């Protein structure tokens, strides 16, 4: 429950820090090491986390509205139910991260690596995904065009199985 609003923690080593429910609004955490940190339910509104290492951290229910996370390392991060509206997540590595139920509306995810990230039930309304790396299943869910047709099978009446191809 510590209050670190507007604090300058740039380049700080906060590896495995316990900062759950911390108030870090407008804090400068650029280039900081926060790997394996507990930031669950923390408030990081408008915080600068650019070039930060957040790998393996827990940001469940964290508020990152309008936060700057450009070029952050965020693989294996838990962002379940996190509020990332209007956040700058450009060039962020979010591989194998848990973003279930996260609000990413109006966020910038351009050039982000989202391969193997779990985006189920996340809100990507008006999010910028230009040049983002996504799994094929996410491209389908987002209505993106695929380079190759999808194939599938359907069991029809009388047990007949037919092969389907969606161009």
Could you give the CA distance from residue 23 to residue 39 in angstroms, rounded to a whole number?
Answer: 10
End-to-end, the C-alpha distance of the chain in Å comes to 53
Supply the pLDDT for residue 159.
Answer: 81
Supply the pLDDT for residue 139.
Answer: 58
Which of residues 108 and 154 earns the better pLDDT score?
108
Torsion, CA 88, CA 92, CA 98, CA 104, rounded to 10: 20
- Using one digit for the tens of pLDDT, what is the confidence trace for 14-50? 999 999 999 999 999 999 999 999 999 999 999 999 9
Supply the pLDDT for residue 151.
Answer: 75
Closest by CA to 89, choosing from 65, 116, 107, is 107
């Amino acid at each position: 429950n510590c209050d670190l609003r507007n604090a300058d923690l740039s380049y700080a080593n906060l590896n495995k820090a316990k900062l759950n429910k911390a108030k870090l609004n407008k804090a400068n955490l650029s280039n900081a090491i926060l790997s394996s940190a507990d930031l669950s339910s923390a408030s990081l509104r408008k915080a600068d986390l650019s070039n930060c290492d957040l790998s393996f951290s827990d940001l469940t229910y964290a508020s990152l509205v309008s936060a700057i996370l450009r070029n952050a390392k965020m693989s294996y991060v838990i962002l379940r139910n996190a509020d990332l509206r209007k956040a700058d997540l450009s060039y962020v590595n979010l591989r194998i991260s848990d973003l279930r139920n996260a609000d990413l509306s109006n966020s910038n995810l351009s050039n982000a690596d989202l391969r193997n990230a779990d985006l189920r039930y996340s809100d990507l309304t008006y999010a910028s995904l230009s040049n983002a790396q996504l799994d094929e299943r996410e491209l389908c869910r987002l209505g993106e065009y695929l380079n190759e047709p999808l194939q599938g099978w359907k069991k029809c009446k009388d047990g007949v199985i037919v092969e389907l191809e969606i161009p």
